[in-house]
Each structure stands twice: as C-alpha cells, then as structure tokens.
Amino acid sequence: MDATAGLDERLKVSFCGLPFASPLVLLSGCVGFGEEYTRVHGFSNADVGAICLKGTTLAPRLGNPAHRVFETPAGMLNAIGLQNPGARTVVDDILPALDFTETRFIANVSGSTVEEYEEVTRIFDDSPIDAIEINISCPNVKEGGVAFGNSPDMSARVVAACRRATKKPIITKLSPNQTDIAENARRCLEAGSDAFAVINTLMGMAIDSERRRPVIGNNQGGLSGPAIKPIALLKVWQVYQVCRAHGVPIIGQGGVVNATDAIEFMLAGASAVGVGTGLFYEPLVCREINDGIVDYLDRHGFRQVSEIVGALELNGAPVATPAASCR
C-alpha cells in the first residue's frame, strides 16, 4: 500500500528519496514510539509524512527525576532524560507492531559516546526503519559533558561514525545552542549527513520563587513551543543557505501550531515541517495544518507544496548580523 495515498496530491513531497504524503513530521519525544497518539479519537498516522520515534540509546534508560515537564509562557520546558527501553528492544518488540503502510518512521539515535551512536545506528540499519535522525545534542561523557552538537568537530565525528554504520538516510538534528549553526551544517554535510532537522530545543530554566528551587528536577530543560519560533525560522534560513546548492532537505521545527507557521518554515527553506509541542495544544492539529497549506496553495497559485520551499523574498536591506542588531 502506498503510504502517500489519501491526502491532497499537492501535499506530497520527496524527502531523501522517501515519499511523504504530507510535509508534516511528528517530532521525536512527542508521540512515543509511533503508537501513542493513535489512541486519540480521530487521529491517524496517515495524516503526516513521517513520524520520528522517541530518542533511543544502546542500553535502557529510566530518565530524569520529576518534574520533567513544565509549561512556560508560549512554550514548554522538558527534561525527560531519554527514557527508553534500549535500541534492541525497540527493533525487536516495537517496530514489528508499527504499520509502515500508513506513514514513514524515522529512528532517533542518541548516545554519550561516538561509539554508542555508531552501534545504535548499526542496530537500526538492520530494521525496517525508513531513516535515522541523529540527536547530537547529547552530552559527550569523554569530553566533560560538552554537547556533541555544540562543536562542529564533534558533530562531524558523530555523523561520520553513523554514516559508516548505515546506508539509510541520515538526518542530523542541529542544536541552536551553538555559535555558528551554518558552519556546523557544512561540516556535517561533509561527514555524510543526507538532511537536517532544524532546530532542537533551546536550553532554559523555570524557578519556583517560593521554594527558591528550579521547577525541573534536572534543573534545566529544553524549551519548545511558539516562544522559540522566530529563532527557529532564522536558523532554518541560515542552514538553507548551506543546503540549497546541494539539494539537501531540511525539517524545519520549533513552535509550529498552525498552517501559517508551517508555511513560514517552508518559505525559509524547509522541505518538511516538524510538529511537536503543538500536539499538546491540539492532538488533531495536523489535519488543520494540511488543510491550511492546501488553501494557501490555492490562493497563491502554486501547484505543489514543494514550490514554496525557499521562496522567501528578502527585503532590500542586508541581513542583520548579531552586531548590527544590537541597540
């Protein structure tokens, strides 16, 4: 059965050679291992182009202490701590229960060493999974806890190791918590990345003033939701400047809750659009977004959603540098 059947034909996109029925992708950590939202009445995996499974490590992990999630103004902090049953259990026990005729499924690989990334990728390579997303925002235990994704050198090392372990498409999930995301993307491309997911969460904190303690049990967490959308749009545009000459696709993500948000990411250069925190606002939001994108295509005379990717027309003024934007 064709996983792209059912939705408006104009929503179809090709991502790393994989046919998506819609440019929408459900983000890792927001829908469990692909089955969580199927319990919601009216929800269907067939409404989206792909689903990123929960972050998976080599050995099982229990995750962080409570509180793990906290709502903030226009956003959400989370510090789940990669709770998962381990890569072998996911491949042996969870993947066989997924319906690969409904949509595409993307594994999310995490690790604390380069060797762990490589081994988890190798395990998923021997599975029906469609593609592999690398979460390079994990701390490197051999380098004092510095996140792999905050260093172009370490990012490239992880991508190169995963490239050796699989022939499946590799999507590198880039962190905004770094100096130059475009340079990181360039290095990851050279190391063998086939695509990018832009962006991962920003680091943040919430404080209980009465208790004088952080709300999150891990003290800090990843900030997602509408509050980060302006940052995410800029980062997508910056990475697109590196990717467009090579035809490398991007999943743009960060605060998408409606069709207008999704369209903005595609105009900035994203071939697909991730929906995560928006599902907590409205579990059936993907149907609304798909309908809204089709309406936009009708109103502006586009024949296919791919025609709006990178169609942003800049104003006459030069793009502001960080120094130029200071007051």
Residue in the block written with tokens 């709300």: 215
DSSP β-bridge partners for residue 132: 107, 170
Domain count, the chain: 1
Catalytic residues: 138
Q: Which of 25, 32, 72 is nearest to 203 (CA)?
A: 72
Query: What count of residues does the chain have?
Result: 327
Residue 202 has phi, psi (to 5 degrees) of -90, 150
Residue 54 lies in a domain: yes
CA–chain centroid gap for 315, Å, is 28
Residue 4 lies in a domain: no
Q: Which of 205, 224, 225, 204 is nearest to 215 (CA)?
A: 205
CATH number at residue 202: 3.20.20.70
Q: At 45, list the tokens.
A: 């995996």
Confidence at residue 254, expressed as pLDDT on a 0 to 100 scale = 97
Q: What is the full per-residue pLDDT of the chain (327 aa) written as tens digits? A: 455 558 999 999 999 999 999 999 999 999 999 988 888 989 999 999 999 999 999 999 999 999 999 999 999 999 999 999 999 999 999 999 999 999 999 999 999 999 999 999 999 999 999 999 999 988 777 776 678 999 999 999 999 999 999 999 999 999 998 989 999 999 999 999 999 999 999 999 999 999 999 999 999 999 999 999 999 999 999 999 999 999 999 999 999 999 999 999 999 999 999 999 999 989 999 999 999 999 999 999 999 999 999 999 999 866 655 444 444
Q: Which domain holds residue 253?
A: 9-308
Residue 327 lies in a domain: no
Residue 113 lies in a domain: yes
Quote the CA–CA distance of 80 and 161 in Å, as a whole number.
26
CB 23 within 8 A of CB 49: yes
CB 20 within 8 A of CB 104: yes
* Cα–Cα separations (whole angstroms), residue 68 to 17, 44, 195: 36, 27, 30
Confidence at residue 2, expressed as pLDDT on a 0 to 100 scale = 57
Residue 47 lies in a domain: yes
β-pairing, 50-56 with 69-72? unpaired
Instruction: Look at residue 128 and give its three-state secondary structure.
Output: coil
Residue 117 lies in a domain: yes
Residue 324 lies in a domain: no
Convert the pLDDT of each residue in 112-170 to its tens digit: 999 999 999 999 999 999 999 999 988 777 776 678 999 999 999 999 999 999 999 99
Q: At 46, list the tokens.
A: 């067939």
Residue in the block written with tokens 């109103």: 299
Residue in the block written with tokens 């994990």: 138
What is the H or E stretch that residue 115 is in? helix 114-125
Q: How many CB atoms lie within 10 A of CB 199?
A: 27
Quote the CA–CA distance of 255 and 73 in Å, as a whole number.
12
Quote the CA–CA distance of 57 and 120 in Å, as a whole number.
7
Residue 62 lies in a domain: yes
DSSP state of 137: T
